[in-house]
Amino acid sequence: MPNRLADETSPYLLQHKDNPVDWQPWGERALAEARERDVPLLVSIGYSACHWCHVMERESFEDPDVAAYMNEHFVCVKVDREERPDVDAIYMDAVQAMTGHGGWPLNAFATPDQVPFYAGTYFPPVGRQGLPGWRQLLEAIAEAWRERRAEIERQGAQIVEHLGVSARIEPDPGAPEPGLLETSVAAISDREDHVHGGFGGAPKFPQASAIELLLARHDGGDERPNPAEPALRALRAMARGGIYDQLGGGFARYAVDAAWVVPHFEKMLYDNALLARAYLHGWQIGGDPLLRQVCTETLDWALREMRGPERGFASALDADSEGVEGKFYVWTPDELRAALDDERLYDVAVAHWGVTEQGNFEGRSILVRAGSDDDPPELPEIKRRLMAARDQRVRPGLDDKRLTSWNALMLAALAEAGAVLERADYLDAARACADFLLRELSCDDGRLLRTWKAGRAHLAGYLEDHAFLLEALLTLYEATFEPRWFAAARALADVTIARFADDERGGFFSTADDHERLVARRKDLEDTPIPSGNAAMALGLLRLARLTGEDAYEQRARGTIALLHPIAARHPLAFAHLLRAIDFLLADDVREVAIVGDPAQAAPLARTVRDALRPHVVLAGGPGDDDGEQVPLLAGRTPGPDGRAAAYVCERFACRAPVTEPDALAALLD
């Protein structure tokens, strides 16, 4: 008989519905049962693409004897960390405080009042390498609950104090110093791996927010090391490595080695949205065709493999297929030869991707660029044949829930790439995704829901859902000049401030003021692996302030920055998106550009703005003679002489004389 996960929408929870463990979802029913039975909660957290989550399920959760013990002594709760980041964050904080490290699967034991008292990650079925066996651990916890209850409760009180610390950070009344950005950029650059590219050692993550910060600080000067260079080297290194799917496009979550060769094969929507945009920005700076190619191949992968008929995007592709990690993606020489059926194409493919008899991953080859960055002319045909062969394999599992925040990231990437590269298909996909989110995941009061699957949207949205969509809608407006997206962004900003803001200390809570009561109300702070909700709100509100002239939006952003800039200065790699907001706030070259006139005539002016990476520019456009009711930056702007489209370059709504020629506009911007 299925357990109480059978009615859930999360693919991860549904994977566990037939376990003999009496799993149930997080909620009041589980908490009430724990209180009534006076037994601990066993909170097991993971996600559908998590390899070791699957391993622990096979080893322990499918064992009838182990399951019977779990059911007798605990109330067993399964949590999809992607649907419930609030619950995950609390228990991740706990496991890191207790053990010094974290990860998934995350297994925490808590009192019926949700207070964690023991936590860890993966546990084997029998003890090894210093880890207790799972059954052994269960028995020890059950005994401690019976025999040492008072000790557990004392320990729990200390943990609760720790869990609430993010919400108690006090703001620094002083504004961040401009030197903070230079020292932060230098600190990130100092982490560069000068051999393999990227930052830090194995396991190596893409660090998209840090790359974007370095690119944003690029100024084209030669008085000091160019901050963009380490970022560009990282982008090129990843593009050549196995972390990038050389055949089908898209990035795996991270590389297990320092050289970017062996990925942890799961593909996450958020990584690919963030990296597609970073590659676009890298191409805008350096003009490297490889970076543009990776951007478009990544977005094409998302449209081909992750987009649903409702025009939202699925969350992730599993690392495993047929129970084997990476099996879908790796090749032997014989498999290549059979798929290509042409010795000349085979020789080109082997040379281009470095395929050998020995392989680079468990006797098989992950495809990596082994030679020049220039593609051989035969490569399109080689890819076509290999993709046809790969499509016959058993595909990795698809986590087909649509998350608002991750969809917003992909929406923004498609919108900006569509505008910069003049790809109408990307712009259409961005519009369709925005329509889907505003139609299916928006409540009557303007707030958002978190997750959608098969026509059902549920769970209250978090700060990141609102903040990412705010940024995305502003990007879509700047890409299309369609005022409906600007209006939606402004309305979303207002409701987010009303329901999430901390008026006492500044910044924003991760959950709304009427959210389900948890053991702690936290603030989302760090920009890893995705930007924090607070950083995204800060940057989004700063941009909105420049489009509206409303200082209140900037003051909210300043409140967030006052809260976090001291810690960002100490840990720049973990707060890179927040540092981008600081960069925008402190920049002395922020420009507001308003382009008015006939759209066909305005296109060359808009192209001038978009041709280069301009992180300190906000852009508005329309036919002209606007009263500013929809987009205040357009108020009173009129076309130039003879009705020609004109561009106004402004600083805090004080504008220079309009120009009608692209070269004149470029001169004002540069």
CB proximity list for 414: less than 8 A, separation 6 or greater: 299, 426, 427, 429, 430, 433
Question: Does residue 648 have a pLDDT over 50?
Answer: yes
Q: What Å distances lie between residue 278 and 206, 294, 397, CA to CA?
A: 10, 10, 27
For the segment 257-268, the average pLDDT, to the nearest whole number, is 96
CA torsion, ordered 76, 81, 86, 92, to nearest 10 deg: 80
Phi and psi for 112 in degrees, rounded to 5?
A: -60, -15
Contact (CB, 8 A) for 95 and 159:
no
Q: What is the pLDDT of residue 173?
A: 80
Q: What percent of the chain has pLDDT over 70?
A: 99
Per-residue pLDDT reduced to its tens digit, 574-596: 999 999 999 999 998 899 999 99
Per-residue pLDDT reduced to its tens digit, 121-140: 999 999 888 889 999 999 99
627 or 135: which leads in pLDDT = 135
Tokens 């993606």, located at residue: 329
Q: How far apart are CA 6 and CA 417, in angstroms?
A: 40
CB proximity list for 311: less than 8 A, separation 6 or greater: 429, 432, 433, 435, 436
Confidence band for 651, pLDDT divided at 50, 70 and 90: confident
For the segment 240-250, the average pLDDT, to the nearest whole number, is 98
Contact (CB, 8 A) for 513 and 561:
no
User: Beta strand pairing status for 324-325 and 320-321?
Assistant: antiparallel
CB-based burial label for 115 (10 Å; 0-12, 13-18, 19+): buried
Q: What percent of the chain has pLDDT over 90?
A: 86
CB-based burial label for 31 (10 Å; 0-12, 13-18, 19+): middle
- Reduce the DSSP state of residue 659 to 3 states and report it: strand
For the segment 294-303, the average pLDDT, to the nearest whole number, is 98
Strands (E) in 461-514, as ranges, are none
Q: How far apart are CA 12 and CA 587, in angstroms?
A: 44
Contact (CB, 8 A) for 76 and 42:
yes
Per-residue pLDDT reduced to its tens digit, 528-552: 899 999 999 999 999 999 999 999 9
Q: What is the pLDDT of residue 89?
A: 94
Q: What is the pLDDT of residue 422?
A: 98
Contact (CB, 8 A) for 14 and 23:
no
Q: How far apart are CA 77 and CA 71, in angstroms?
A: 11
Residue 103 region, left (φ>0) first, then alpha (ψ -120 to 50), else beta? left
CB proximity list for 175: less than 8 A, separation 6 or greater: 558, 562
Question: Does residue 222 have a pLDDT over 50?
Answer: no
- What is the rounded average pLDDT for all residues in the chain? 94
Asked whether the whole model's pTM tops 0.85, one would answer yes
Query: DSSP of 74-123, one letter per residue?
Result: -EEEEEETTT-HHHHHHHHHHHHHHHS---SSEEEEE-TTS-EEEEES--
Confidence band for 221, pLDDT divided at 50, 70 and 90: very low
Q: How far apart are CA 541 and CA 494, in angstroms?
A: 10
Q: How far apart are CA 198 and CA 260, in angstroms?
A: 9
For the segment 279-298, the average pLDDT, to the nearest whole number, is 97
Contact (CB, 8 A) for 244 and 294:
yes
Question: Does residue 97 have a pLDDT over 60?
Answer: yes
- Taking the CA atoms of the chain, what radius of gyration do you get in angstroms? 26
For the segment 270-274, the average pLDDT, to the nearest whole number, is 98
Per-residue pLDDT reduced to its tens digit, 491-516: 999 999 999 999 999 999 999 999 99
Per-residue pLDDT reduced to its tens digit, 519-529: 999 999 999 89
Question: Does residue 220 have a pLDDT over 70?
Answer: no
Cα angle 387, 300, 13 (rounded to 5 degrees) comes to: 85
Question: Which residue type is seen at 461?
Answer: G
* CATH fold of the domain at 11-163: Glutaredoxin (3.40.30)
Phi and psi for 23 in degrees, rounded to 5?
A: -65, 150
Cα angle 369, 375, 381 (rounded to 5 degrees) comes to: 105
- Provide the CB-side half-sphere exposure for 463 (13 A, CA): 29
CB-based burial label for 580 (10 Å; 0-12, 13-18, 19+): buried
Contact (CB, 8 A) for 5 and 27:
no
Peptide bond into 289 cis (omega under 30): no
Contact (CB, 8 A) for 646 and 506:
no
Phi and psi for 269 in degrees, rounded to 5?
A: -60, -40
- Reduce the DSSP state of residue 197 to 3 states and report it: coil
Confidence band for 223, pLDDT divided at 50, 70 and 90: very low
Confidence band for 224, pLDDT divided at 50, 70 and 90: low
CATH code, 179-191+201-318+399-586: 1.50.10.10
Joined together, the tokens standing for residue 408 give 């917003």
For the segment 449-458, the average pLDDT, to the nearest whole number, is 96
